[in-house]
Amino acid sequence: MTAHPRFSLNQATVKYASLAEAIVATKSAGIQAIGTWREPVAEIGLDAATRLIADSGLRVSSHCRAGFFTAPDGPERVASLDDNRRAIDETAALAAAGAPGSAAVLVLVSGALPGGDRDLIGARERVRDALGDLEPYAASAGVTLAVEALHPMFAADRCVVSTLGQAIDLAVDAGPSVGVVVDTYHVWWDPDVLAQIARAGSLGRIASYQVCDWLTPLPADVLLGRGIPGDGHIDFGPITRAVEAAGYTGDIECEIFNEDVWARPHDDVAAAVSAAFTSVVAPHL
Amino acid sequence: MTAHPRFSLNQATVKYASLAEAIVATKSAGIQAIGTWREPVAEIGLDAATRLIADSGLRVSSHCRAGFFTAPDGPERVASLDDNRRAIDETAALAAAGAPGSAAVLVLVSGALPGGDRDLIGARERVRDALGDLEPYAASAGVTLAVEALHPMFAADRCVVSTLGQAIDLAVDAGPSVGVVVDTYHVWWDPDVLAQIARAGSLGRIASYQVCDWLTPLPADVLLGRGIPGDGHIDFGPITRAVEAAGYTGDIECEIFNEDVWARPHDDVAAAVSAAFTSVVAPHL
A152 and B232: CB-CB below 8 Å?
A: no
Does the pLDDT of residue A184 top 90, yes or no? Answer: yes
Q: Domain containing A70 — which CATH number?
A: 3.20.20.150
pLDDT at B222: 83
From chain B residues 134-193, the ones with a CB under 8 A of any chain A CB are: 151-153, 155-157, 162-163, 165-166, 188-192
Distances in Å between the alpha carbon of B54 and those of A148, A271, B57, B60? 53, 66, 6, 10
Shortest alpha-carbon distance between residue B164 and chain A (Å) = 11
Task: Yes or no: say if A110 and A69 are a contact pair by the CB < 8 Å rule.
Answer: yes
CA distance B214 to B227: 6
A153 and B152: CB-CB below 8 Å?
A: yes
Provide the phi-psi class of A173: left if phi over 0, else alpha when psi is between -120 and 50, else beta. Answer: alpha
Does the pLDDT of residue A53 top 80, yes or no? Answer: yes
Which residues of chain B neighbour A190 with C-beta distances below 8 Å? 152, 162-163
ipTM of the complex: 0.95
Q: What is the mean pLDDT of residues A98-111?
A: 98
Indicate the SS3 state at residue A173.
helix
Q: What is the CA radius of gyration of chain B?
A: 17
Residue A163: inside a domain: yes
Domain that holds residue A25: 7-284
CB-closest option in B157, B163, B234 to A118: B234
Amino acid at A272: A
DSSP assigned state of A144: E
pLDDT at B223: 85
DSSP assigned state of B111: B
Residues A226-236 have pLDDT tens digits of 999 999 999 99
Indicate the SS3 state at residue B2.
coil
Nearest to A252 by CA among A205, A285, A204: A285
CA distance B139 to A238: 36
Beta bridge partners of A60: A34
Residue B168: inside a domain: yes
pLDDT at B175: 98
C-beta neighbour count of B54 within 10 angstroms: 14
Residue B2: inside a domain: no
Give how many domains chain B has, as a whole number: 1
pLDDT at B10: 98
Which residues of chain B neighbour A188 with C-beta distances below 8 Å? 120, 155
Residue A196: inside a domain: yes
DSSP string, B200-243: HHHTT-EEEEEE-EE-SSPPSSGGG-EE-TTSSS--HHHHHHHH
Beta bridge partners of A108: A66, A147
Task: Yes or no: say if A255 and A183 are a contact pair by the CB < 8 Å rule.
Answer: yes
Residue B275: inside a domain: yes
Residue B1: inside a domain: no
Residues B227-260 have pLDDT tens digits of 999 999 999 999 999 999 999 999 999 999 999 9
Residue A2: inside a domain: no
- Which H, E and C letters describe A10-69, residue by residue? EHHHHCCCCHHHHHHHHHHCCCCEEEEEHHHHHHHCHHHHHHHHHHHCCEEEEEEEEECC
Does the pLDDT of residue B177 top 90, yes or no? Answer: yes
> What is the pLDDT confidence band of residue A214, given thresholds at 50, 70 and 90?
very high
* Strand B213-214, strand B226-227: pairing: antiparallel
Beta bridge partners of A63: A36, A106
Q: Which residue did the predictor score with more confidence, A245 or A221?
A: A245
Nearest Cα residue in chain B from A165: B191
The answer to whether B113 contacts chain A (CB < 8 Å) is yes
> What is the pLDDT confidence band of residue A102, given thresholds at 50, 70 and 90?
very high
Q: What is the mean pLDDT of residues A181-196?
A: 98
Does the pLDDT of residue A225 top 90, yes or no? Answer: no
Q: What is the mean pLDDT of residues A132-151?
A: 98
Amino acid at B235: D
The answer to whether B75 contacts chain A (CB < 8 Å) is no
CA distance A265 to A94: 25
Phi, psi of A122 (to 5 degrees): -65, -40
Task: Yes or no: say if A183 and A143 are a contact pair by the CB < 8 Å rule.
Answer: no
CB-closest option in B155, B191, B217 to A189: B155
C-beta neighbour count of B101 within 10 angstroms: 16
Residue A1: inside a domain: no
Shortest alpha-carbon distance between residue A93 and chain B (Å) = 35
C-beta neighbour count of A168 within 10 angstroms: 22
